[in-house]
Amino acid sequence: MADQRSQELLAYYQEERVNKQLTFYVKRAKKDGRMDLWMRVGAGLLLLFNGLLATILGISQGQTINAQNTQTAEARTLDSQTLEETTTTVTINGNTILAVLLVVIPALSTGLLSIRSLYQFESTKYLFEQTKKRLRKKSNEPLDPNDQNALITRILEIEEIIAAENQQWLATVSEEGSADDINGTATNNN
C-alpha cells in the first residue's frame, strides 16, 4: 500500500509541481528571448533610420537647416512715444521636421536599450533555460518508488532547484548581486 501511495504522490508531484514549473520556464525563456531580440533589432533599426534621415537632410540642404526669420518693424505713435514692434516668423518645412526626427530617434533607440538593460531579458532567459534543464534532468533520474527516503530526497532536491532559481531571479532583477552573493556560496554548473 505504501508503494502505491508513494507512486501516486510522485505522479501527483510530477504533474502539479514539476511539469507546471517546467511549462513556466519554457514560456518565460521564450518571452524574454523575444523581448530581448525586439529591443536589439528595434534600437538598431531606429539608428539605421536616423542615419538615412541625416543623409537625406545633408544632401538636400548642404548640411544646413533652412529656417527663415523675417523681421518687420513698424512705427506707431502712442501718447507721443514711438514703439518698435518686431515680428519673427519661422517657416516649418520638411527639413525642420527631419532635423527634429534626427534628435528624437536616437533618444528612442537609447530608451529601448535602457528598457532592455532594466528588465535584463537576456539574463533571465538564460536563467530560466538553465533551471529548466536542471529540473528536467533531476525529475527524469530513475527513482525506486519503494524507497521513501529517495522519494523525499527527490522532492527536496527539486524544491531546492526551484528555490535557487527564485533567489537568482530576485538577485538579477534587483541588481543587488548574484544569488551566490546572497547565499554566500559560489557554484559552477558547467
Confidence at residue 92, expressed as pLDDT on a 0 to 100 scale: 59
128, with CB counted inside 10 A (0-12, 13-18, 19+), is: buried
Q: Is 66 helix (H, G, I), strand (E, B) or coil?
A: coil
Rg (CA), the chain: 32
Mean pLDDT of all residues belonging to the chain: 76
Task: Tell me which of 33-42, 55-64, 176-185 is least confident.
Answer: 176-185
Is pLDDT above 60 for 42? yes
Euclidean distance between CA atoms 159 and 162, whole angstroms:
5
Specify the length of the chain in residues.
Answer: 190
Q: Please, are residues 167 and 179 in contact by the beta-carbon 8 Å criterion?
A: yes
| Percentage above 90 pLDDT, the chain | 28
Is pLDDT above 80 for 30? yes
Q: Using pLDDT thresholds of 50, 70 and 90, give the confidence band for residue 2.
A: low
Max avg pLDDT among 26-40, 49-63, 92-106: 26-40
Confidence at residue 88, expressed as pLDDT on a 0 to 100 scale: 52
> What is residue 114's DSSP assignment?
H
User: Does the reported pTM lie above 0.75?
Assistant: no
Report the largest interatomic distance among the alpha carbons of the chain, rounded to a whole angstrom.
Answer: 114
Confidence at residue 156, expressed as pLDDT on a 0 to 100 scale: 93
